[in-house]
Amino acid sequence: MSSEDSAPRSRPWLSGLLSLLIPGLGQLRNGSLGRALTFFALPFLAAVLLFVLVVGLRPPVWTVMTAYGVIRLGVAADAWLGAPRTAISGSRAFHIVRLLMASIVGFTATVAYIYWRGSTVWCLDQVRGKSMADALVDGDEPLRFIAAYRLWIPWTGEHMDTGSIQRKDIIAAKDPLTGVQIVKRVIGIPGDEVVVRGHRAWVNGEALDEDYIKLESPEAEGPRIDNLRPDFGPIRVPKNRLFVLGDNRNGSTDSRVFGFVFIDDVKGRYIMRAFDSPNGDPNRDRDLMRR
């Protein structure tokens, strides 16, 4: 073993901490630009891959969070172990400026990524009210796939279609009367004839299989809740509109009250509950995509 190999590392904790805060920054402090760029991109690529797995395989949320955490810790460990054995050549001022510039670039890129992801791809919402009980209750935090039906292209104002809205999808949309974001279940798509009998929906003459229906006492969603009736329709869903209902049919202000929802006002599809409210049954299925 050479004397250089036996020399103490130069503040490895600093390299590890830097990469834990911003992936790749510790590797840059160690003087390895290639590894810095690689590890800067790795967590973002991992986040995309894990999200694809969430949508496709629907694993438990804790396994996804654990996997991402392990990746981040692995990046920090690499920076720790890669700290130089001897002092880094060059002036101290040069390395301080390089770290400062890299921090600014890394922070800006991270904020831009989080903003883009939270405005165009996916985000967490918090549910208010019990109109969608038991699938979603007050305080639940479901994961909303914003790009389920369309993906906005940054800086262009354009979008591309990524999927079509289906019956029984749980969506986020704007209340056509108030503009407030609501969460409801799609019952009728354009061209459907919808009838509600005994709080259960019939579409085009056939009863929907609705084992998710709950009939609790009305909640305080506002005075319009008093207008609900167990029977409604028939009504035809026009073009570019949706007929939506809450699962808690006694306690949901929905299309029976405010009419149809505009398809252009749909803000994504809820795919799973990331965090449960203490108000809900802990044994509920987290998967919100089961039909």
Give the residue numbers annotated as catalytic, written as ranges: 131, 184
Rg (CA), the chain: 25
Contact 270, 124 (CB under 8 A): no
Q: How far apart are CA 194 and CA 188, in angstroms?
A: 6
Q: How far apart are CA 51 and CA 57, in angstroms?
A: 10
Q: How far is CA 214 from CA 54, 261, 281, 288, in A?
A: 27, 22, 13, 16
Locate 237 and state its tokens: 């869903």
Output DSSP code: residue 11: -
Give DSSP secondary structure letters for 91-142. -HHHHHHHHHHHHHHHHHHHHHHHHHIIIIIEEE----SSTTTTTS-TT-EE
Q: How far apart are CA 266 and CA 242, in angstroms?
A: 10
Output DSSP code: residue 248: B
Q: How far apart are CA 278 and CA 219, in angstroms?
A: 18
Q: What are phi and psi of 288, to 5 degrees?
A: -100, 10
Q: How far apart are CA 190 and CA 81, in angstroms?
A: 59
